[in-house]
């Protein structure tokens, strides 16, 4: 058995006015709670250090740079890395990254037990729009503030297994899991900030959102025989409601742990990486069963090409 005692550490709302220092203190409290339960790895949400600022429109995009981190660890987050190293706990969290070259990404990192950053991911599937859209009940401007991820979907050997990352909207796209599945991924960790209502379809509320969220996680886990750890930033941020749904999904696609509520909280589950073996060696033995000669459209075209009339 290759066991990773995994902590999914949900954050409740982060208001515009909340400082990064206050958020890091909350993250450290959750880390201490996870340590008390002997967790080996702690997973935090997407954009864990700030409010979900892409809901706000900035005429001048540079004005949104206040929400970005220019170094990681930086002056405020260093305490979190030090606490993780003290605990000997690996961690993953998301943040807005402004690189020295001036590039903007919705980023997540993978940090080993010594506090060293061993992996970085830049969000590929950016939902929403890049100009102000008056037709929407609220804005979702990730395409305005972030570039499309440029690192693909890498995986890393860590904690005696193969671990990959994705971020929020990525979880809705089967390609995300499959590209990592084709690298042998045994655990996918992800954070999300998901509005509880659809800004373009007001009748689509929380129940439907939660159904699609879990459907996406469970399918990705099952179809690639991998663990999936999904962690919410939840609750009402300056009047905007983000849904919860933090959960741990096993390689059979079953939700084995779920955190109720929309506040700071942590759930722990012993994830046996060897539980991925049966699926990878039987029904989803890609080498034996996949027929790539028929999959050309998946990478040859972006949009839909319907049949001739």
Binding site for ligand ING (CB under 6 A): 127, 168-169, 172, 192-194
How far is CA 102 from each of CA 69, 105, 305, rounded to the nearest angstrom?
Answer: 11, 10, 37
What does DSSP say about strands 247-249 and 255-258: parallel, antiparallel, or unpaired?
A: antiparallel
> Rounded to an integer, what distance in angstroms lies between the CA atom of residue 221 and that of residue 293?
24
Take residue 300 and report the two structure tokens written for it.
Answer: 């040859």
Nearer to ligand ING (CB atom), residue 161 or residue 235: 235
Nearer to ligand ING (CB atom), residue 127 or residue 270: 127
Residues annotated as part of the active site:
46, 123, 168
DSSP letter string, 283-299: TT-HHHH--GGG-THHH
Closest distance of CB 126 from ligand ING, Å: 8
| Secondary structure letter of residue 261 according to DSSP | S
Closest distance of CB 168 from ligand ING, Å: 4
Closest distance of CB 288 from ligand ING, Å: 33
How deeply is 163 buried, as exposed, middle or buried, from its count of CB atoms within 10 A (0-12, 13-18, 19+)?
buried
CB 23 within 8 A of CB 141: no
Closest distance of CB 199 from ligand ING, Å: 9
Q: Is 159 helix (H, G, I), strand (E, B) or coil?
A: coil
Nearer to ligand ING (CB atom), residue 67 or residue 192: 192
Take residue 86 and report the two structure tokens written for it.
Answer: 């003290």
Closest residue to bound ligand ING by CB: 169
| Secondary structure letter of residue 11 according to DSSP | B
Nearer to ligand ING (CB atom), residue 188 or residue 273: 188
Closest distance of CB 200 from ligand ING, Å: 9
CB 203 within 8 A of CB 258: no
């Amino acid at each position: 058995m290759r066991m990773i005692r995994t902590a999914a550490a949900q954050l409740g709302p982060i208001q515009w006015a909340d400082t990064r220092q206050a958020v890091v203190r909350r993250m450290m409290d959750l880390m201490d709670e996870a340590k008390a339960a002997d967790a080996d790895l702690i997973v935090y949400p997407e954009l864990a250090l700030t409010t979900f600022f892409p809901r706000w429109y900035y005429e001048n995009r540079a004005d949104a740079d206040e929400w970005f981190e220019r170094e990681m660890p930086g002056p405020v987050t260093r305490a979190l890395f030090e606490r993780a190293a003290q605990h000997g706990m690996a961690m993953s969290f998301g943040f807005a990254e402004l690189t020295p070259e001036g590039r903007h990404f919705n980023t997540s990192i993978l940090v080993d037990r010594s506090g060293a950053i061993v992996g970085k991911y830049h969000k590929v599937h950016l939902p929403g729009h890049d100009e102000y859209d008056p037709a929407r009940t609220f804005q979702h401007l990730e395409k305005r503030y972030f570039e499309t991820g440029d690192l693909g979907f890498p995986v890393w050997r860590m904690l005696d297994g193969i671990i990959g990352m994705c971020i929020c909207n990525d979880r809705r796209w089967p390609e995300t899991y499959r590209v990592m599945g084709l690298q042998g991924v045994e655990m996918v960790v992800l954070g999300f900030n998901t509005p509880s209502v659809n800004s373009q379809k007001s009748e689509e509320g929380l129940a439907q959102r939660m159904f699609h969220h879990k459907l996406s996680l469970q399918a990705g886990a099952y179809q690639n025989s991998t663990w999936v750890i999904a962690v919410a930033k939840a609750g009402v941020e300056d009047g905007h409601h983000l849904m919860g749904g933090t959960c741990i999904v096993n390689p059979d696609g079953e939700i084995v742990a779920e955190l109720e509520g929309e506040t700071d909280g942590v759930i722990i589950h012993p994830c046996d990486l060897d539980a991925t073996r049966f699926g990878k060696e039987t029904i989803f033995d890609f080498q034996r069963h996949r027929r790539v000669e028929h999959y050309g459209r998946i990478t040859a075209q972006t949009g839909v090409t319907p049949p001739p009339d």
